């Protein structure tokens, strides 16, 4: 990590009932940090009191930040991926773009020293090639990615013009225990656990960008604690992508009865082959620690023990 460590003060986590937000709350609690957890609705992480807030309503956000008086905001409140609310594009835009702007404005007014906005590798889009770094211009393929790119621009503007200590963190495909949004990866593992054949869209050479939830949380906490951040945007990912075929074979090594039919018969999906992590390595000493086999094993164990109903896959993340 960069020299020194800043005092977080009280930390406000938005989207605290969500996958990454809840994991962040648990991690911060374990570190002994005072946390205010906020979301539009529950469930609260581990029974922690939840401060309700609609991020699209500026007055509600102003009241939340005024009452919480945080020194740090970890802004995870958002539509969580392109598979969610795809039939409601305007709502995606309002929640992700307008919601972030409301957070930034209230943070400016109340003198919050650092705001970390969760963004996504989806901002790069499918036209990017190779290992891409943060200097690559966003070219998103969907409203979700565009809304996150717009949120990043708001972060840049408030940082440069208003002097707010704000930064965006681009996470890749976060997976692991606690995720409730149905995904192809969950469907794959559940099928292996239950001994049923599964059909998935894709080609063995399609590149995946899976990031275990503990690594995502580690990166966000390190960004929050770093005394100095030399950049405005950071990739926090697993680095080089992994072909879908390798993901399936890794899952099969853990679940020998797994039978998979891939329905893609065309060329592999276009897009980045991975994401450069040099900035995060230099500034916050971040590198992913959970390899794919370990992550899938832990996720499969969670699914075995989970009382959640099996959910059909709806996206390749």
> Mind telling me the catalytic residues?
144
Report which of 54, 69, 77, 153 is spatially closest to residue 107, judged by C-alpha positions: 69
259-262 and 197-200 strand pairing: parallel
Nearby residues of 111 by Cβ (< 8 Å), 6 or more positions away: none
Burial class of residue 66, CB neighbours in 10 A (0-12, 13-18, 19+): exposed
d(CA 219, CA 308): 28
CA Rg value for the chain: 19
């Amino acid at each position: 990590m960069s020299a020194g460590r800043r005092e977080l003060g009280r930390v406000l986590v938005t989207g605290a009932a969500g996958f990454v937000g809840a994991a962040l709350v648990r991690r911060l609690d374990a570190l002994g940090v005072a946390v205010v957890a906020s979301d539009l609705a529950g469930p609260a992480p581990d029974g922690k009191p939840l401060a309700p807030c609609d991020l699209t309503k500026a007055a509600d956000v102003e009241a939340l930040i005024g009452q919480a008086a945080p020194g740090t905001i970890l802004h995870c409140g958002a539509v969580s991926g392109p598979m969610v609310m795809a039939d409601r594009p305007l709502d995606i835009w309002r929640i992700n773009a307008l919601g972030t702007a409301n957070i930034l404005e209230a943070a400016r007014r109340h003198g919050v020293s650092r705001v970390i906005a969760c963004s996504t590798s989806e901002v790069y889009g499918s036209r990017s090639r190779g290992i891409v770094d943060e200097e690559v211009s966003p070219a998103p393929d969907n409203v979700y990615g565009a809304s996150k790119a717009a949120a990043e621009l708001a972060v840049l503007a408030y940082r440069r013009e208003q002097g707010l200590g704000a930064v965006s963190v681009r996470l890749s495909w976060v997976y692991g225990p606690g995720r409730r949004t149905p995904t192809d990866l969950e469907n794959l593992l559940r099928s292996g656990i239950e001994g049923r054949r599964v059909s998935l869209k894709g080609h063995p050479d399609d590149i995946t960008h899976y990031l275990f939830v503990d690594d995502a949380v580690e990166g966000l906490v390190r960004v929050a604690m770093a005394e100095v951040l030399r950049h405005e945007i950071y990739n926090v990912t697993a680095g080089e992508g992994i072909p879908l075929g390798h993901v399936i074979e890794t899952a099969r090594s853990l679940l020998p009865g797994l039978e998979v039919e891939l329905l893609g018969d065309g060329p592999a999906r276009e897009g980045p082959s991975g994401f450069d992590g040099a900035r995060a390595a230099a500034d916050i000493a971040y590198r992913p620690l959970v390899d794919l086999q370990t992550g899938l094993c832990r996720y499969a164990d969670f699914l075995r023990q989970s009382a959640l109903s099996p959910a059909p896959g709806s996206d390749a993340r």
